[in-house]
Amino acid sequence: MKRNQNRDLYAELITSLNDGTPHQVCIGLHWTAAVMEVGGEIRCGLASTQTGEHPHGQPNVPQAGKLEMMGGFELATLVKSDLPALVSVGMAAINALLPRDPQAWVDLNAEQVIASHGRNKSVVLVGHFPFVDRLRQEVGQLSVLELNPRPGDLPASSAGEVIPEAEVVALTGNTLLNHTFAGLLSLCKPEALVILLGPSVPLSPVLFDHGVDILSGSVVTDVDPVLAAVREGANFRQVHRAGVRLVTIKH
């Protein structure tokens, strides 16, 4: 598939959104949640909390205490911020405001999708996910790229060596937050199957137009328990149990 690097993915995602009224914004230890009212429905979008380094005394969130006073589109545009925590807020808002097509959702998690498409194939997984050890038994060959490599992982700097050779490339949704997505996608060979996975992933066909073949993400089904878990520092396993459905959509 031809992968167009000259288009503004974030602008296209924002243009595709429904408008909504922010109810709550929660920047938790691991996850950020944005609760919106969209067409009379209360929705919650998630994104991984990005913090980054900042000079001592400089706030991570200059608008803290005022985010819920902003409009839905205004929150979504924070995905273009230079401040990592605000990028997370923007992506969570996008995930709350996206048009939804439940008929396209299939109840498959990312591990199942990668295992199914990676049998007897070379697979590169960008990001160390909890299912890595199981996945090694299911696919032909698995290379894991990680910013903070664990035993058996490759450093992220090896992307240029392994991604161009892979038949299946699975990118963490965090690449949309740290702005490495376009660069990594450009390394994929045209015939490679590209999967974007994780709770931060927007379930939007806009990503298909940018060269992604499969999206494996999440939909919050029980807002209040999920928000409470996020607020109290839950990891994703805990957030999932609180009320999140794992779904996949295909191009």
Total domain count for the chain?
Answer: 2
Residue 231: predicted pLDDT: 96
Strands (E), 147-198: 154-155, 168-172, 193-197
Residue 233: predicted pLDDT: 96
Q: Domain of 13: which CATH number?
A: 3.30.390
Q: Determine the 3-state secondary structure of 218 from DSSP.
A: strand
Does 201 lie in the same domain as 226?
no
Which is more confidently placed, 55 or 241? 241
The pTM of this model reads: 0.93
6: phi then psi, degrees, rounded to nearest 5:
-95, 0
Q: How far is residue 163 CA from its own chain's centroid? A: 19
Question: What is the dihedral sign for C-alpha 162, 204, 235, 110?
Answer: negative
Assigned domain for 251 exists:
no
**What's the rounded Cα separation, in Å, for the pair 95 and 90?**
9
Does 139 lie in the same domain as 115?
yes
At 117-131, the pLDDT tens digits run 999 999 999 999 999
At 39-64, the pLDDT tens digits run 999 999 999 999 876 555 577 887 88
Does 194 lie in the same domain as 119?
yes
Domain that holds residue 132: 104-217
Instruction: Provide the token pair at 133.
Output: 């050890």
